[in-house]
Structure 1
């Protein structure tokens, strides 16, 4: 069977999905390639006003021509796109709101939880969603009379993903504690654990972490309030949240992806950051994120959520070099749990996996007469020899401190107390070092006392039960400077 869209391309799926706008579900059946008898059976089955769900299946099977299933993977696996048909309603005051929460995927009580959000079925299902909104009008005689009014590709914003990720952790923490039976949608902000099943008695199952106590079946769901915001702020306003860098696949027949990226940035070489802010509509402030935002805008995207970057694990780093030919600050890597670093094997460690799979795109600004000027960009991935040599040595020295016990020492500095530790310093390794990643500090000592303006959430658990401010690995600024091409330094 030849599909009328490219099932590997999210934008092609969206374009074909938009052909549904203006149709009723009855028309979706009528326009399908099914024989007459099969269509009549569907009219009888789905025409029942009391029937719950299933309208999304009609779209999947009749419009997109693939068999609906309960697979945990995304509906269009080659493109990583999930299809969600969702109702909306209009109030007497003509305000639009989501008709219900959006079920993402069932919570599995039978197996250990997936702690890495980015590897979870939840993340896979919400990373790119083809939202199909239809107006639920109870005055109409049949569900099949509901009209499909909006079709839009949607991805949660970076800010929303941070909250969803924290919600995911809260739900999993309760499950791991053997308290799945105590889950409540009120526990979380955007991502809830909604109940599934007709009655509490019939829908209870055993818990992997607490086999003696049964828990109500639940699903990870995006709450109706969140979905109302999505509807009003993104779907109706037709705002793009999914952002491919290469919007026309034909470009890739002429140039490689990396060449396209470099061309987009290097056409701005010689411009100051102030000039770029004016051209690209970016607020000209001194926030650290400003220069990364400029890099994204030069690429025609708003954040590091570009489809190509996600697939290729490309990390954008804005590098600023001062007039003394020194990079202004080191480059942070993601936070990595200290308690896990202490027990990892190097080959399976967070740091090794991250650096081995990632490629960096350094976008370089150089200070000239007090003004930061764009010099260009460079792709770079850490070679295996360096990873297995200096990086591994640095990681092992840090792990040694964790295993033997981190020494936390209070030191008076003028009017404040600071906490020093015995982790290796930047000068001890040519490539990496470890230091705080959180702006707020929090320490819990063996006697139960605490220190810092932050909260427990700003800290990591140490192997001995104490807590210290979240740490992350950083690429040394001297190392990054050494690998930059000479033209970017001048």
Structure 2
């Protein structure tokens, strides 16, 4: 292979040269570099190892089972590897596109392989930093974001935590520009992020605020990542980057890169002048006042009063068959129907996927499943209220958990559960009114929390305690605690009283 054999003024030349990376490992790229008499695109000579310490780590830091890198400085550092050792230029670190003569940006990002052998996006794609030193750019097409995303040379490499990073294989190389339908939503996201910044609320930014384009943290837990804002009273805020959210990157991988025709639908059937969020809500709200019976008749659906009925009606009003709409997958939106009784109370708490006790106690808050779920997810609440023997559609609302609720209240409640599980759940065996033995524990119930609680997420109760007590099907319904005892699988739930408050 002849390194640097491309024309940096010709996008086709760059792309053809880049495609040769497919199937190569980073070690093989370095080997080609070491054998090459030319060490840069301009022909400058320098040592392959000399500048490793200046390379930027863009991939999330993870621990690996074994393997050593080229030297201590190089350990895990892939961030600017391709730019430096394959394209032969020093990463510019500024707001211009990497190939600035033609406006082409180079981005590399990991993909993971699931147990089923399917590929998924490994993480969000960082685009450019959000500046707290100057006013925001109002015109999207004059922004650094547009400069960075209008044309991307997108390189996907396969991440395998069992091997050293330089042995990762580069799987896909493509030219990518956000499609027209996506771009409209990206612009809406850009404006929404900037509006919060202009209000002096950069400290309240969250990826869940938006659809495809997010505002992700940089050094989220480090004090040195805090910066005074340009606007408002200059409250300290975490450094953030504009990014493509991981849900959007996963959609890009599966539908634009792999092109494996994953069944997917689009909600947008026409050109629209309002934001996507407003459009989605309007699809539901034009049915306000109709009963569930009338909606079933309108959409030719049997009226059977099972739990799936109201979800199905919500999807039919949206013109889709489930949570697989293209925009919902890309934006990580989840549809939830809520039924309110005549007394003004909602019927049920809202459940989420079960967790593993031993995994929970190893998590830190900002890397936790709970934090990431509520930080990154928007909910479309479709609300029905009971009137006599039917439920009447009241409204739809897009909702994302408020910053304070998540980062103060939920964090505290989550930490309390983690501490109890880590230190050892206390069990007490008591007889119920029927004389049957029940097991109680000291985990806080719904009445003892404000926003979240945990409760069983299994067909039946199951216990295996250190005193020899065994009850139920441990393998099917139980989960092991850190101290070796087993109890019924649990999941986090949103308190129904809290959900009701969010609907007002």
TM-score where L is the length of structure 2: 0.48
